[in-house]
Amino acid sequence: MEATQEQQAQQVAQLEMACKQKMTKDAIERYSNVKAGHPDKAMKVLQIIGLGIQSGQLQETIEGDQLKELLLKIDTPQREVTINKV
């Protein structure tokens, strides 16, 4: 069980390194802040960027503003529906 956790941590580290190579300094800073506060969002961003790199769709480097837009798209608020009986 520990071996799989270590493998997952290693894969995440490799993915993070690959994604950071495509980010500007500002984007890396923004990513680090998100990672500290919202690790689940940081993983989603890494997955999206990683898929873009693998598929060849992501050729240019990611600016801080582009990362911010990506985070906003991921962070769509879920509406809570309440039903009031009359």
Q: How far is CA 9 from CA 6, 21, 29, in A?
A: 5, 19, 21
CB 28 within 8 A of CB 68: no
What would the mean pLDDT of 15-26 be, rounded to a whole number? 90
Q: Which of 32, 41, 51, 42 is nearest to 76 (CA)?
A: 41
| pTM given for the model | 0.75
Residue 67 in 3-state DSSP? helix
What would the mean pLDDT of 35-62 be, rounded to a whole number? 88
What would the mean pLDDT of 54-69 be, rounded to a whole number? 88
CB 41 within 8 A of CB 72: no
pLDDT of residue 26: 93
CATH of domain 2-72: 1.10.8.140
What would the mean pLDDT of 19-37 be, rounded to a whole number? 91
